[in-house]
Amino acid sequence: QVQLVESGGGLVQAGGSLRLSCAASGRTFNNYDMGWFRQAPGKEREFVAAITAIAWSGSSTYYADSVKGRFTISRDNAKNTVYLQMNSLKPEDTAVYYCAAVRSPLNRRVNYYTDLATWDYWGQGTQVTVSS
C-alpha cells in the first residue's frame, strides 16, 4: 500500500505564498498520477490539482478553475515527492490540503481527477490558513 505524508502547511497572509509537499512511499511512485484536494470547514472535499505519471510525452497537469494561474503542481520522481506551489493566496484557500494517488490509467474519462472515487490512496492532510 502506498503511504502519503503531506507537509508545508501553515498560516500566511493574503497574497502570500506557500509550498506543500507530499512524500510517497513505494517503488511504484513513478507509475502513479498524483493529486491535491482540499477541504474547508463544513464543506466537501474538492479537487485542486493533478499531475500524471511521466511518460515519453511528459506529464500533464490539471487544475481547478479557482486556482488556475496561482497554483502549480509538480513532481520529483527521484524524491518520490509531489509539490503544490501556492501563490497569491486568498482567504478562501483556507482548508486542509490532502495529497492523493492513483495508478496511472490508460484512459481518463471526463472529470476523472475531480472525482474522489478515482483516488486510491490519501494522506492525512496539512492545514493551510490564509488570513485577510
pLDDT digits (tens, 9 = 90+) for 84-102: 999 999 999 999 999 999 9
Residue 29's CB is within 10 A of a number of other CB atoms, namely 21
Q: Is the dihedral of CA 87, 89, 82, 73 positive or negative?
A: negative
pLDDT of amino acid 57? 73
Q: What is the average pLDDT across 61-80?
A: 95
Closest CA to 93 of 64, 60, 58, 59: 64
Mean pLDDT of the chain: 94
Residue 24 pLDDT level (bands cut at 50, 70, 90): very high
Distance CA 58, CA 97 (A): 26
State residue 123's pLDDT score: 97
Does the pLDDT value for residue 19 go beyond 80?
yes
- Return the DSSP state at 88: S
State the pLDDT confidence band at 110, using cuts at 50, 70 and 90. Answer: confident
Whether residue 83 contacts residue 73, with contact meaning beta carbons closer than 8 Å, is answered with yes
**Which range is least confidently modeled, 19-23, 85-89, 107-111, 122-126?**
107-111
Average pLDDT for 25-54: 93
User: pLDDT value at position 91?
Assistant: 98
